[in-house]
């Protein structure tokens, strides 16, 4: 081989790495990573990569009549963690019912291991604003910023929410309490699954009872679906009052468009503006405006 050939060979060698027993060309790996990023992947969900092909092999090995694993073969790598709590919804119900204060509820959520989302999240996002305020906003789930900060609605959508509230004289510093249906960030900000929501709902219901709001603002379709049980789309339900019963008392709920949706569809802000006017009128009709709106 000539000099150029040797150098080319050395480059090729330098670009090949032994990764857990598999020789990988760094350029291929980078190309695949760039492809994943372009497809929208923004984080690794597990600390170690999950080899799904190996998992399929492992399933096959469990079939009756399958050959035993060959000597020296590696055990299957871990897939997503199995729930650590056998019946997480019942456990969530028991725990939530046993909490008699918002602080106890926060501590119970922080100790709860029944929601698989928690394994990938940095924080348990409980609430922000004035605990006990008469106005409660409920969103969907924490995003990346909220996961970092441990507080709901601190990213761009949160800033828009603050402006929306300010337009009708509300603010989380004075008279609004804010939480989400989910207390942990779904990886990549995907819509939470019905199972994940069902595990978090007992905590949310107890959260509403303990916070005892007099008016609830539902932000977006996920909050509407899980809090009200209504399955019609948000564009159909927004702007019409719904009812929530907490501790035998009816609390009016207004579904409106999620601020993250409004950032993507600014032309829809006029619909949200209409909903905000409805909320302002109801606050006055209920006499909530005469106080500082806090219990
Ligand atoms: N979107 C939500 O629904 N909740 C948050 O906390 C942030 C963004």
| DSSP line for 142-190 | --HHHHHHTSSS-SHHHHHHHHHHHTTT--TTTTEEEEES-SSPPGGGP
Question: So what's the pLDDT on residue 284?
Answer: 96
Q: How many domains does the chain have?
A: 1
Q: How confident is the model at residue 42 (pLDDT cuts 50, 70, 90)?
A: low
Report the separation in Å between the CA atom of 156 and the middle of ligand 1, taken as the mean of its atom positions. Answer: 10
Instruction: Report, in this order, helix, strand and coil percent for the chain, each rounded to 5.
Output: 45, 15, 40
Question: So what's the pLDDT on residue 18?
Answer: 67
User: pLDDT tens, 1-19?
Assistant: 455 577 777 777 777 766 5
Q: How far, in Å, CA of 258 to CA of 141, rounded?
A: 11
Assigned domain for 242 exists: yes
Question: So what's the pLDDT on residue 77?
Answer: 44
Question: So what's the pLDDT on residue 227?
Answer: 98
Quick one: average pLDDT of 138-152?
A: 98
Residue nearest to atom 7 of ligand 1 (CA): 153
Assigned domain for 40 exists: no
Which of 18 and 238 is assigned the larger pLDDT? 238
Q: Provide the percentage of residues in the chain whose pLDDT is more than 90.
A: 68
- First CA to last CA distance, the chain: 84
Which of 9 and 96 is assigned the larger pLDDT? 96
Assigned domain for 285 exists: yes
Assigned domain for 53 exists: no
Assigned domain for 67 exists: no
Report the separation in Å between the CA atom of 206 and the middle of ligand 1, taken as the mean of its atom positions. Answer: 20
Ligand 1 atom showing the smallest separation from residue 259 Cα: 1
Assigned domain for 5 exists: no
Which domain CATH number covers 167? Answer: 3.40.470.10
* Helix, strand or coil, per DSSP, at residue 46: coil
Give the structural domain span for 260.
88-290
Report the separation in Å between the CA atom of 109 and the middle of ligand 1, taken as the mean of its atom positions. Answer: 18
Assigned domain for 44 exists: no
Which of 284 and 53 is assigned the larger pLDDT? 284
Assigned domain for 162 exists: yes
Provide the total of helices (H) and of strands (E) in the chain, helices listed first: 13, 8
């Amino acid at each position: 081989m000539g000099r150029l050939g040797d150098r080319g060979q050395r480059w090729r060698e330098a670009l090949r790495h032994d990764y857990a027993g598999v020789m990988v060309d760094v350029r291929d790996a980078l190309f695949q990573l760039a492809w994943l990023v372009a497809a929208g992947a923004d984080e690794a969900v597990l600390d170690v990569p999950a080899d799904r092909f190996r998992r399929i092999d492992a399933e096959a090995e469990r079939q009756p009549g399958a050959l035993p694993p060959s000597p020296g073969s590696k055990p299957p790598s871990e897939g997503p963690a199995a729930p650590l709590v056998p019946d997480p919804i019942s456990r969530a119900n028991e725990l939530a019912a046993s909490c008699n204060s918002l602080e106890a509820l926060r501590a119970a959520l922080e100790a709860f291991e029944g929601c698989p989302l928690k394994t990938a999240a940095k924080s348990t996002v409980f609430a922000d604003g004035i605990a006990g305020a008469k106005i409660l906003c409920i969103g969907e789930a924490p995003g990346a910023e909220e996961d970092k900060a441990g507080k709901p609605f601190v990213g761009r959508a949160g800033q828009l929410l603050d402006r929306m509230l300010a337009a009708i004289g509300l603010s989380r510093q004075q008279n609004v309490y804010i939480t989400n249906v989910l207390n942990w960030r779904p990886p990549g900000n995907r819509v939470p699954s019905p199972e994940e929501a069902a595990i978090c709902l007992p905590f949310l219901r107890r959260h509403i009872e303990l916070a005892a709001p007099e008016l609830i603002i539902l932000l977006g379709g996920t909050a509407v679906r899980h809090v009200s049980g209504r399955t019609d789309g948000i564009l159909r339900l927004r702007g019409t009052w719904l009812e929530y019963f907490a501790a035998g008392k009816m609390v009016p709920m207004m579904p409106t468009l999620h601020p993250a949706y409004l950032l993507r569809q600014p032309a829809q802000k006029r619909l949200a503006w209409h909903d905000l006017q409805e909320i302002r009128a109801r606050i006055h009709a209920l006499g909530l405006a005469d106080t500082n709106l806090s219990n």
